[in-house]
Amino acid sequence: MANSADDAARALRQIPPVDECVRALPPQALEKYNRNYLASIVRKIQDRMRAAIASGQAPPSSREALLHEIARQVEERIAAGEFSWRPVINATGVVIHTNLGRAMLAQAAVDAISVAARSPITLEYDLETGARGDRDRMVEADLCSLTGAQAATIVNNNAAAVLLALNTLAEGREVIVSRGELIEIGASFRIPDVMRKSGALLREVGTTNRTHLDDYAQAIGPQTALLLKVHPSNYRIVGFTASVTIDELCRLAADRGLEVMEDLGSGALADLRRFGLHQEPMVRDRIAAGAGVVTFSGDKLLGGPQAGVIVGRRELINRIRSNPLKRALRCDKLTLAGLSATLGIYLRAADLVRSLPVLRLLTRTPNELEIVANRARELLAQRLGQAFSIAVAGSVSEIGSGTMPGEGIETRVLRITHPAHSADAIAAMFRRADPAIIGRISEGAFTLDMRTIEDPAALAASFPSISS
């Protein structure tokens, strides 16, 4: 045991200092990269080497071999990418996957962001007057055209939109909301918590499964500022239920001299029934019903970049826009450029499905997916070898990001198994592909959902050939 400890100590002493390791790197690396950056990579590699030696692994046999191995790993690390994030292949079937960046942007949005990134733009500059402008003008007119609202403003996400609107319109006063709509969104982020942070006073009415118009009417008092409706986009209550429609709520509010605000979450700008999908509440319908303020996300069903959209009556939107919090929550030029281009697609495109990746993926037919699945199975079989079993099967895809809960879409998947490897082990193997492939585990098998795979050749090309 002592000899083993002595060997480990000698091996640790053989690891060269950071500066020596950096000097041993190829000249082209030293010319191209900052020395501090290279030194930080060397330190991480040395830390892993020390941990490996401490666990009993044998290090390279000499100091020169250690220098060579560290240089090799530095080059490998640089070649793998200089970002803390990596592009991946989404084979989960979840079209709007929060953990993978939600909506894929249309090419028009990508192009617009690229132009805005490399060029000064009229973000807050009025070309006609030469005076300062308002960045909301990049998207406000299009949003009003698409929703029927009088005015619109933009912040960095929908939670911020709800926070800002409530703080502006109801700070220190009561906001009445149904208990059945006090939802929790991602990462334990709850509507009641957002309301408390806004300074509004929560007034709950009804029960979890049943709320009636009279519950709202009886709760209205001198301290009431708003009636709030929250679309439960990430869950569904079935059975003995009752809820109040936006039309009913707006009529009550009008009778009592109040405003209605609705948080639609994943707001739809188009009638999804046209594309064979379950209908989500349309923003235009909420405005037409009389809602004074409607908030929704830019990066869910809308198919744009992450943003919180606030539309409604001009007087209310102007108050929201004037809130000092607005500056803290505002979007940058890249987000506004991408959102502007996406809204332009809704206004001008003859074929939304072809132009918007979110709609394109959601509307792919089982027959189309069957063809993709068979081709992917053939190509993957050549890469993985005969020991892997790959079968095409029917399954159900999810829309994702809390959109349309319980509304799965028929899909085709590849079920991949191996006699010596668990589904978790196979999933880990696919995550080591380049680019990494993210699937899901279902019924004891690792599965790749074809709904989010448009190029089976690229899927297979991520793998080197495997013989076992």
pLDDT digits (tens, 9 = 90+) for 188-244: 568 888 888 999 999 999 988 899 999 999 999 999 999 999 987 655 666 677 889
Q: Between the CA of residue 408 and those of 186, 277, 395, 405, 450, what are the distances in Å?
A: 19, 10, 9, 8, 14
What does the pLDDT read at residue 77?
80
Determine the pLDDT at residue 2. 41
Decide if 227 contacts 216 (C-beta within 8 A): yes
- Please state, in angstroms and rounded to a whole number, the distance separating the CA atoms of residues 437 and 87: 10
Asked whether 384 and 467 are in contact (CB, 8 A), the reply is: no
- Cα distances from 362 to residues 265, 365, 450, 454, in angstroms, run 18, 9, 11, 12
The whole-angstrom separation of Cα 192 and Cα 228 is 12
Does residue 33 register a pLDDT over 70? yes
**pLDDT tier, 468 (very low <50, low <70, confident <90, very high otherwise):** very low
How far is residue 214 from each of residues 91, 174, 219, 231, 249, measured CA to CA in Å?
A: 47, 17, 8, 20, 10
Closest CA to 229 of 165, 171, 274: 165
Q: Are 254 and 290 in contact (CB under 8 A)?
A: yes
pLDDT, tens digit, for every residue of 321-357?
Answer: 999 999 999 999 999 999 999 999 999 999 999 999 9
Say if CB 212 and CB 155 are below 8 A apart: no
Mention every residue, 6+ apart, whose C-beta is less than 8 A from residue 99. Answer: none
Residue type, 55: S
Q: pLDDT category, 464, cuts 50, 70, 90?
A: low
Within the chain, which residue ranges are assigned CATH 3.40.640.10? 107-355
Q: Is the pLDDT of residue 438 over 70?
A: yes
Distance CA 176, CA 165 (A): 14
Q: Where in the chain is the domain with CATH 3.90.1150.180?
A: 88-98+362-461
In the numeric block, the tokens 């950071």 are attached to: 18
Span 107-355 CATH architecture: 3-Layer(aba) Sandwich (3.40)
DSSP 8-state secondary structure symbol assigned to residue 192? H
E strand or H helix at 414, and its extent? Answer: strand 409-417
Indicate the SS3 state at residue 204: strand
- Please give the single-letter amino acid code of residue 430: F
For residue 202, list its beta bridge partners: 175
pTM of the full predicted structure?
A: 0.84
**Residue 395 — pLDDT band, cuts 50, 70, 90?**
very high
Tell me if 232 sits within 8 A of 242, measured CB to CB. no
CATH 3.50.50.60 fits 88-98+362-461, yes or no: no
Buried b (16+ CB within 10 A) or exposed e, 8-40: beebeebbbebeebbebbeeebeeebeeeebee
Bridge partners of residue 441, in order along the sequence: 446
- Which burial class, exposed, middle or buried, applies to 133 when counting CB atoms under 10 A from its CB (0-12, 13-18, 19+)? middle
